[in-house]
Structure formats: C-alpha cells, structure tokens
C-alpha cells in the first residue's frame, strides 16, 4: 500500500535538552494522530532511546518526524540520522544488554520492541539511520 | 542549574519528580541524594514518579543506581506512583528495576519504609540515626 506523508518536520539532536524536546514533540504528534496513552508512551520512550543513541554514539544528528497515511490508517514515522562512526555489527547492536558505551544496551532492541516497524541502516565511518513507525 | 528538592521526614528522604528529567538533572539528583543519605543517616528513600510521562533506560539506570548506592549506605529505595502506561512500556523495553522496591502510591511506599524503621527500633538501633544532622 502506498504511504503518503501528510506532515513532516525535522528537529536537531545536539544536546540533552534536544532529547527532551524530541520527546515533547513526539508526544504532541502522537496525540495529533490519535494514538492511545499506552501507544503514545511506547513511541515517546522509543524516540527517547534513539535520540540518546544519536547523541551519545552518533555524535549528534537529527530526527525527522512524519505523519503518514496508508489507506485509512494514520501513523507516526520517526527517522534518526547521524554522521557518526556507524555500527559494524547491527545484529550484535540489536542484542539486549550489548553496549559499546556506558549504557544498559537496551536502546536499539528496546526501541524495536516498542515500535510496529523498525528499520536500521548503518555504514561504518559514515553514519547510522534508524526509522521506526507506530500505527494507529 | 535546577535541582530537585529532597525532603527529610523522620528517617526517610522523599523526592518527587515533577519535571521532564534531562540528563544533568538526573545526575545531580543522584549526587544530592547520596550526600543527603550520608549526612542524615536516612534509612529509606522514597522517589515519587507519578508525574513522569516516560521512564527510558537512562532514567531507569539512574533509579537502579540510586538504589544500589543507597543500599551500600544502608538505606532502602522505594519508587512510588509509576503510571500504568509507563509500567507497560518498561516491561516491553526490557528494563528490570533490579534492587528497587516499588509501590503503587506514596502512601504504600511510606508504609514500606515505615515498616523498616519500626523494625530498626525493635532491633534497638533506631534512635541515634540523626547523629550528623545539621
């Protein structure tokens, strides 16, 4: 089914305060498409994990938020992109409790579980792009 | 920089988190709580989080870390008032709040801490915990 983007915006992720702003914006957009409270909480939490990855491991980047329409279904699609060191072994990075930094290693795997769609592309030395979506 | 106030009530410290926690605030709270436990000899720490709209792995790690440090300083941590949607999300995220007691609300959380304080008194070492006060 064709997916149409009905609204799009981009937010920078350069500091801890930006991570807070990402959460607030994702919450507002999730409400706008009519997600229930639990689904709102899930996508905001996933966004928080991914924004922190972008900041801590990617050296900063941005999030593109889109309200998408597939037939009658509305969804929220979020793309986190950085030009950082990239991830050499994505399978390993998705494993719970694997961490290359000081975190708990739940970020990527957790964000995947909290989303209806999850897609990751990474090129070592060039950067990482993670896309998640939650559908109403 | 903003800081989250810590209240002392008898042998317990009480924190209520009312703002969207950014990273520096979380780290400052951890430091402040640790210092306050050492200074007051508190036996219980109640962290009330009903205003928190999410708990991600960063906040989760902060709570686990506060509980671990508190335990080393002989105080018990109770997290109270987690929203149901937050609890559901935490489980799916895969975050385990190791070493943390949870309570549905402040009242039940205080009852848990109070039970420990009463037991201390029975065991005969409750009275002089406030030795370094002030």
DSSP class per residue in A35-89:
--HHHHHHHHHHHHHHHHHHHHTTSSEEEEEEEEEETTEEEEEEEEEE-SS--S-
What's the mean pLDDT in B7-24?
89
Token digits of residue A135? 């559908």
Digit-coded pLDDT (tens) for A28-60: 999 999 999 999 999 999 999 999 999 999 999
Is some CB atom of chain B closer than 8 A to the CB atom of A110?
Answer: yes
Q: Is the pLDDT of residue B126 over 60?
A: no
Q: Is residue B133 part of a domain?
A: no
Q: Do A48 and B54 touch (CB under 8 A)?
A: yes
Please report which confidence band the pLDDT of residue B38 belongs to, taking 50, 70 and 90 as the band edges.
Answer: very high
Parent domain of B29? 6-128
- Bridge partners, residue B46, by sequence: B14, B78
What residue has token string 């089914």? A1
In-domain check, residue B1:
no
Residue B46 has pLDDT above 80, yes or no: yes
In the DSSP assignment, the letter for residue A136 is -
Q: Does a structural domain hold residue B65? A: yes
Q: Which residues of A touch B22 (CB under 8 A)?
A: 16-17, 19-20
DSSP, residue by residue, B60-108: HHHHHHHHHHHHHTT-EEEEE---HHHHHHHHHHT---TT-EEESSHHH
Q: What is the mean pLDDT of chain B?
A: 89
pLDDT at B134 (0 to 100)? 41
The CB density around residue A14, as the number of other CB atoms within 10 Å, is 14
Beta-bridge partners for B8? B13
Check if the beta carbon of residue A39 is closer than 8 Å to that of residue A26: no
ipTM of the shown complex? 0.88
Assigned domain for B21 exists: yes
DSSP B50: T
In a domain, B116, yes or no: yes
Q: Answer yes or no: is B31 within a domain.
A: yes
Looking at beta carbons, which residues of chain A come within 8 Å of B20? Answer: 20, 23-24
pLDDT at A98: 66
- What 3-state DSSP class applies to A102? coil
B71 assigned to some structural domain: yes
pLDDT greater than 80 at residue B120: yes
With a cut of 50, list the residues of chain A below it in pLDDT: none
pTM of the entire structure?
Answer: 0.89
- In 3D, which of A58, A50, A40 has the Cα closest to residue A19? A50
In a domain, B10, yes or no: yes
A77–chain B Cβ distance below 8 A for any pair: no
Question: What is the distance between the alpha carbons of residues A51 and A125, in angstroms, rounded to a whole number?
Answer: 19
Tokens 């937010």: give the residue. Answer: A11
Q: How confident is the model at residue B104 (pLDDT cuts 50, 70, 90)?
A: very high
What's the whole-number mean pLDDT along residues B42-46? 96
Contact yes or no for A45 and B22 at CB 8 A: no
pLDDT at A100: 62
DSSP at B53: S
A58 with A128: CB under 8 angstroms?
yes
| Residue from the list A41, A48, A109 with its beta carbon closest to the beta carbon of B94 | A109
User: Quick one: what percent of chain B has pLDDT higher than 90?
Assistant: 68
The domain total for chain B is 1
CATH of the domain at B104: 3.30.750.24
Query: Do residues B21 and B59 make contact, with C-beta atoms less than 8 angstroms apart?
Result: yes
């Amino acid at each position: 089914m064709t997916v149409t983007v009905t609204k799009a915006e981009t937010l920078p992720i350069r500091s801890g305060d930006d991570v807070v702003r990402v959460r607030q914006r994702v919450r507002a957009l999730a409400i706008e498409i009519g997600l229930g409270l639990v689904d709102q909480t899930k996508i905001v939490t996933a966004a928080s994990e991914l924004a922190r990855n972008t900041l801590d491991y990617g050296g900063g980047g941005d999030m593109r938020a889109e309200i998408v329409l597939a037939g009658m279904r509305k969804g929220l699609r979020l793309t986190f992109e950085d030009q950082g060191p990239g991830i050499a072994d994505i399978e390993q990075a998705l494993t719970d409790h694997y961490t290359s930094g000081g975190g708990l290693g739940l970020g990527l795997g957790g964000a995947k579980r909290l989303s209806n769609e999850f897609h990751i592309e990474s090129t070592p030395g060039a950067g990482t792009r993670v896309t998640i979506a939650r559908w109403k | 920089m903003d800081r989250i106030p810590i209240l002392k009530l008898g042998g317990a410290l009480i924190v209520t988190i009312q703002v969207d926690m950014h990273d520096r605030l979380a780290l400052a709270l951890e430091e402040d709580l640790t210092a306050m436990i050492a200074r007051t000899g508190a036996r219980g720490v109640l962290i009330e989080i009903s205003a928190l709209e999410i708990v991600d792995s960063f906040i989760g790690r902060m709570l686990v870390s506060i509980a671990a440090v508190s335990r080393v300083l002989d105080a018990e941590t109770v997290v109270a008032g987690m929203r149901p949607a937050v609890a559901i999300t935490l489980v799916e995220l895969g975050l385990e709040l190791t070493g943390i007691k949870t309570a549905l609300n402040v009242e039940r959380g205080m009852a848990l801490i109070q039970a420990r304080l009463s037991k201390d008194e029975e065991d005969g070492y409750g009275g002089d915990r406030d030795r370094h006060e002030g």
